[in-house]
């Protein structure tokens, strides 16, 4: 079922993003008086088609959903069948340079507008995310050397406010890749003052960005509540009186900060009584539990361990990020701008070799992420859509012939020269641009397959 959900989530995302992109071209073309002949989602053989409007524009849903296009009346594409004199004024090629540029730029801009609206909706409705509160860092990690301690809340990175764990992750990517110190504004646990700490990342490598870089820095989410989930019938936990929803307080007098604290204590005491204190409502209850002795498996193979038959859940502190309508729109605009700039910088670093091209993802990885986000919930799925929409907008604005950005470069050169570029120049550069795009797709697909094999 998850495979089907992944496929549906991927196709839905792809269809929406392509539709919005092409709709941008279509609407501005119509606004500029250009006749649109076809609006296609996908390439290849049409699966469905219908005609709309006085121009009888053909709307098509095609077999290969990896793209789309808007075909406009154009003299360059009508050499075999000349355009009637009465419609020449509606040809794309006859429009002023400014209008042609606006039509081309409208596709990527539509993707950015979609991202702004999605982020604005999420900010207005409110999103629950883990708070940027850190656990005790492991020794000899950058976080430990910086002086971070359990319970510290990170308020900002390099002066930019941080309100969630995800924002912290994004804020630390730049200093990580640049291998420099990040200035953290930190509030101590219990509100006992705040200060600035320097998180020195000069000893880390750009390859760390491909892994759990927060963990490598020594940054982990602070422990929150550990709650009892389901219980095994006949297990020691159920027999001792533990109930689903109980919050674990301590085991043998030691506080329980994470599920692993209890798990380790249970494993170490097969057949021996341990004292578990739980919070149930307003009351704290001490429960003696005797873990059942069982043969260990996996990493515990070859020894006897304890087991009580309880599923445990770590519940970290969550923050609800919510804004008013206008503030949500501003936050959506800012987030879209920040992610666009960040995407461009990452692409630039890939070109200069500062960042591995293994970070380039293709349709397989995108499909997998679509499925994962859909399973998490519609909040995660909308965030995923916004991020991919930004990536699509940025990619199309790259100055590569055959992409929208390449056409904008053509128009810039035309403005400088004062006349259209030669047909030969256009053909040669577009073939080169197509080769670049095919190479990028091949690298992305190779990365996808490598991730699948390595997973």
Confirm whether 206 is a catalytic residue: no
Average pLDDT over every residue of 314-332 = 84
- Catalytic-role residue among 22, 167, 233, 284: 22
Three-state DSSP class for residue 265: helix
Average pLDDT over every residue of 342-356 = 75
- The CATH 2.30.42.10 portion of the chain extends over 127-222+316-321, 225-314
Percent of residues, the chain, with pLDDT higher than 90: 39
d(CA 276, CA 263): 12
348-381: burial string, b at 16+ Cβ within 10 Å, e else: ebbeeeebeeebbbbbbbbbbbbbbbbeeeebbb
Supply the DSSP symbol for 133.
B
Higher pLDDT, 47 or 377: 47
Position 179 scores a pLDDT of 85
d(CA 233, CA 3): 32
Q: Is the pLDDT of residue 368 over 90?
A: no
Average pLDDT over every residue of 242-248 = 91
Single out the residue of 255, 251, 253 nearest to residue 224, CA to CA: 255
Average pLDDT over every residue of 334-349 = 84
**Of the candidate ranges 78-87, 116-125, 370-379, 432-441, the one whose mean pLDDT is the lowest:** 370-379
The segment with the largest mean pLDDT, out of 120-129, 324-333, 421-430, 445-454, is: 324-333
pLDDT tens string 224-235:
788 898 899 989
Position 381 scores a pLDDT of 85
Per DSSP (E only), the strands in 118-235 are: 127-130, 153-157, 160-161, 181-187, 194-200, 225-231
Q: Is the pLDDT of residue 207 over 70?
A: no
Q: Is the pLDDT of residue 194 over 90?
A: no
Higher pLDDT, 216 or 177: 216
pLDDT tens string 66-77:
788 999 998 877
Instruction: For the domain covering 225-314, report its CATH number.
Output: 2.30.42.10
Q: Is the pLDDT of residue 296 over 60?
A: yes
Higher pLDDT, 52 or 22: 22
Higher pLDDT, 93 or 189: 93
> What fold is seen in the domain 127-222+316-321?
Pdz3 Domain (2.30.42)
Position 206 scores a pLDDT of 62
Q: Is the pLDDT of residue 451 over 80?
A: no
Which residues have C-beta within 8 Å of that of residue 326, sequence separation ≥ 6? Answer: none
Element (H, E) at 361: none
pLDDT tens string 305-315:
999 999 888 77
Higher pLDDT, 411 or 2: 411
Cα four-point dihedral sign 406, 394, 93, 415: negative
pLDDT band at 31 (very low <50, low <70, confident <90, very high): very high
Average pLDDT over every residue of 218-241 = 88
pLDDT tens string 123-171:
898 877 788 888 889 898 999 999 998 888 999 999 888 888 888 888 8
Position 321 scores a pLDDT of 77
Position 1 scores a pLDDT of 44
pTM: 0.75
């Amino acid at each position: 079922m998850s495979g089907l959900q992944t496929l549906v989530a991927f196709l839905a995302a792809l269809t929406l993003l392509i539709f919005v992109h092409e709709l941008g071209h279509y609407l501005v073309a119509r606004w500029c008086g250009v006749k649109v002949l076809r609006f296609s989602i996908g390439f290849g053989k049409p699966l469905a088609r219908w005609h709309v409007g006085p121009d009888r524009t053909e709307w098509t849903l095609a077999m290969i959903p990896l793209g789309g296009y808007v075909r406009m009346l154009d003299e360059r594409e009508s050499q075999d069948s000349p355009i009637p004199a009465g419609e020449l004024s509606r040809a794309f090629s006859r429009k002023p340079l400014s209008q042609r540029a606006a039509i081309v730029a409208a596709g990527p801009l539509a993707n950015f507008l979609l991202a702004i609206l999605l982020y604005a909706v999420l900010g207005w409705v409110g999103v629950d995310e883990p708070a940027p509160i850190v656990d005790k860092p492991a020794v000899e990690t950058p976080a430990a050397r910086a002086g971070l301690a359990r319970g510290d809340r990170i308020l900002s990175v390099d002066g930019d406010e941080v309100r969630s764990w995800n924002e912290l992750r994004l804020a630390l990517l730049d200093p990580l890749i640049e291998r420099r110190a990040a200035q953290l504004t930190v509030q101590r646990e219990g509100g006992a003052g705040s200060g600035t700490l320097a998180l020195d990342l000069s000893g880390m490598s750009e390859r760390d960005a491909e892994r759990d870089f927060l963990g490598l820095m020594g940054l982990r989410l602070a422990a929150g509540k550990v709650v009892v989930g389901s219980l095994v019938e006949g297990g020691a936990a159920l027999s001792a009186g533990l109930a689903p929803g109980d919050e674990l307080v301590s085991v043998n007098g030691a506080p329980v900060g994470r599920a692993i604290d209890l798990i380790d204590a249970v494993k170490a005491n097969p057949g021996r009584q341990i004292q578990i204190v739980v919070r149930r409502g307003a009351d704290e209850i001490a429960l003696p539990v005797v873990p059942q002795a069982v043969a260990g498996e996996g990493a515990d193979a070859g020894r006897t361990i304890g087991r009580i038959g309880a599923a445990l859940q770590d519940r970290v502190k969550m923050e609800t990020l919510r804004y008013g309508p206008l503030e949500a729109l501003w936050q959506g605009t800012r987030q879209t701008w920040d992610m666009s700039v960040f995407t461009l910088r990452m692409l630039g670093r890939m070109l200069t070799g500062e960042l591995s091209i293994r970070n380039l993802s293709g349709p397989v990885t995108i499909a997998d992420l679509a499925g994962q986000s859909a399973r998490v919930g519609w909040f995660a799925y909308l965030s995923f859509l916004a991020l991919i929409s930004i990536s699509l907008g940025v990619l199309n604005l790259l100055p590569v012939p055959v992409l929208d950005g390449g056409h904008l470069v053509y128009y810039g050169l035309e403005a400088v020269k004062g006349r259209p570029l030669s047909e030969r120049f256009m053909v040669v550069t577009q073939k080169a641009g197509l080769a670049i795009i095919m190479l990028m797709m091949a690298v992305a697909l190779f990365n996808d397959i490598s991730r699948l094999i390595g997973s």
